[in-house]
Amino acid sequence: MLVFLFSQQTDFLKNVIIHTRHGARTPLNGYPNDPAVWNCAKSIQMTFQPSVSKKPLNLIFDVKKELTGTCSKGQLSDQGFTQHVHLSQLWSKLYPFKSFELYSTTVPRVRLSLLGQLQNFQSKNPFQVQVSSKLYDQIFLQGYCPNDYKYQKLVYEQIDLKKEELKDLQRRTGWSASWEDFADSFQSRDIMGVSYPESVTEADKKTARDVTDNIWHSYYYNQLNIEEKNKYLKMTIGMYMKDLKYSILDGVNKIVSGHDMSIAPLAGILVENGEFYGQPGFASFLNVEVWNINEQNTIKIRFRAKEQENEGKYVRIQVCGELQCSVEEVIDWMEQFSINFAQRTELCTQ
């Protein structure tokens, strides 16, 4: 008698590259004579081991008292740190791998957010984190880049900025700020429970959010000038494409702690238009998952644009328009956006 044995085929997750925006923070800019009180907890200390030095880096956030209360501008709030502790719990559930490589920008709120994500990880030694200099940062465009602002100006000319409504809000608040500045302040106040100036209405809040989301969507999904949009994607995230490629191919598990200006251009390259709209929220994430499906290496993208989306959702991938694409398709698509430092400098200045 012949007995045929059939092995049951099982799909499984091979590795993941996690990309996060920092948690909720205080506003980057403040109202003139703002009476609101912004309170943050005592400074959080963390120890990272720089990859270029054997000397541990001890970081304690320096409270500069730029706002009334105990916070400084752009400081990670208690709520923001807690958001990333929740992410640490989520990573333990979704990605129970033993180890992760770690990357962070130089900005303190981004490093502290990464610390929150490590709360569920056990380590006897200091966590080793790669932190690039501002000039060579792969996921956050910093430094001299005039064409960055030139492209943003082009986008402003293409959309309805509701200039009259903005002038009226500026007059009532005494603050000559942009819609994006207002939206940033409103979002921080809502999360931290900080009061608004009496002159701000619910309609102001909605308009600020709507215009800001329209601006951000137009930056990264600009259908009126695709060539300039693609240049902008290269400027903002192109230097990271090579690193992401090899993380995918080499089976690396990685957590990359960054900004909204890290998540949004990455989505602009990888995520199908229509899957998300606007500015990525605090503690948003875009995770590139590498799966073995039907014995084929396959990419899925788990995306959370806003915190309310909890575990996020799988989104359609731009190159194939489906919820999963082959690794080869995704890598080939990413290659057209991949640049080095010299090329980024050229794109920024010429």
Over range 91-117, report the average pLDDT.
92
Lowest mean pLDDT among 90-99, 243-252, 326-335: 90-99
Kindly give the pairing relationship between strand 325-326 and strand 45-50: unpaired
Compute CA distances 247 → 21, 56, 250, whole Å: 19, 26, 5
pLDDT tens figures, 313-335: 999 999 999 999 999 999 999 99
Tokens 């960054």 belong to which residue?
258
Tokens 């740190």 belong to which residue?
81
pLDDT tens figures, 6-53: 445 689 999 999 999 999 999 998 888 888 888 876 555 555 554 544
Kindly give the pairing relationship between strand 296-304 and strand 45-50: unpaired
Tokens 């996690």 belong to which residue?
18
d(CA 83, CA 90) in angstroms, rounded, equals 11
Over range 130-153, report the average pLDDT.
91
CB 84 within 8 A of CB 113: yes
- Give the pLDDT score at 284: 97
Over range 142-156, report the average pLDDT.
93
d(CA 20, CA 44) in angstroms, rounded, equals 20
What domains does the chain contain, in order, with CATH numbers?
12-142+237-349 (3.40.50.1240), 148-220 (no CATH)
Compute CA distances 284 → 107, 257, 280, 298, whole Å: 17, 11, 6, 23
Mean of all residue pLDDT scores within the chain? 89
- Give the pLDDT score at 121: 82
- Give the pLDDT score at 129: 86
SS3 253: coil
B/e letters for 201-216, b = 16+ CB within 10 Å, e = fewer, are eeebbebbbebbebbb
Over range 202-218, report the average pLDDT.
97
